[in-house]
Structure 1
């Protein structure tokens, strides 16, 4: 397998996760029925934020490679760590996709159940899965891979809080003050 494939797969997963993080930061903030534009805007905000934050692990990997005595060996170690990092995330992504497919395909009640039983707990398990992925990176590639994996994990876990604080916290605070004054 080409060593760049796991890195590209991780980058793609990170960007998709960032778009979902943007959506989650916005979810529940708007009571309108038709909010497709707002949802798309939130996902794009998450995607843009994720694209910037995912530069951190790329730069970390670059610094690790530049500091290494044997760059080809370090590259191979980082590639092995990327595979160890990718396996738990791929399993998690498959579970999320299965839950999303059930949500979109099943009738209303069953799809609601799929959302509550599947996507809700999976969202809560996200930081745990990132931690397990870091352990996989360490097992696959050692301390250098753990460093890059930990920076990547922090990067993806910071997208949702950043998007929320940057674009949606003010709206939520304003709505609360309106309710309190009414």
Structure 2
């Protein structure tokens, strides 16, 4: 088994992380806009909106990777570079996702005051660090052996995931603030 055999699983892991992040972005675009106590339907709707927008935007890095492969003189070498870059891109994102997962677990497991502290001290700063983590993932894709092709695909993917929340907010929730 070669390292390239793991490339599809890395791509699937990146796509799954991107889609989960998109659902959270939809939630963040909605959060704080509704004072109702029971709003689980609205939260699910916002998350699905984020998922839909994110799914559409994540086609861009897939098409970019396909274009890079089609334009490459040596497709095997470019595929290997993209696979290495994908592994590098995944490492910072996996660490970030683990931190978010641990914070969410603390929220659901701990008593009320401790869970509130976990949310404020954990998810608040993690949300602010998100663009920095995406930038670090782009750099890691380049440094991990992916070179310029991986940096290009990583940058397109990074822009795509960072655009989900503003697009969902602008499309569905910005008018609620103006009214």
Match of 1:159 among 157, 164, 178: 164
Identify the residue that residue 100 of structure 2 maps to in structure 1: 96
Structure 1, gaps ≥5 residues long: 175-182
1:78 counterpart = 2:82? yes
Alignment of 1:34-113 (within 5 A): 34-113=38-117
| TM-score (structure 2 length as normaliser) | 0.96
How far off is 1:150 after superposition? 0.2
Match of 1:137 among 119, 141, 154: 141
Stretches of 4+ aligned residues off by more than 2 angstroms: none
Distance in 2 (alpha carbons) for counterparts of 1:106 and 1:97: 14
Distance in 2 (alpha carbons) for counterparts of 1:116 and 1:3: 37
Match of 2:22 among 14, 18, 23: 18
Distance in 2 (alpha carbons) for counterparts of 1:40 and 1:173: 23
Distance in 2 (alpha carbons) for counterparts of 1:89 and 1:13: 8
How far off is 1:3 after superposition? 1.2
Distance in 1 (alpha carbons) for counterparts of 2:33 and 2:120: 19
Please tell me the root mean square deviation across aligned C-alpha atoms, in Å.
Answer: 0.5
How far off is 1:103 after superposition? 0.4
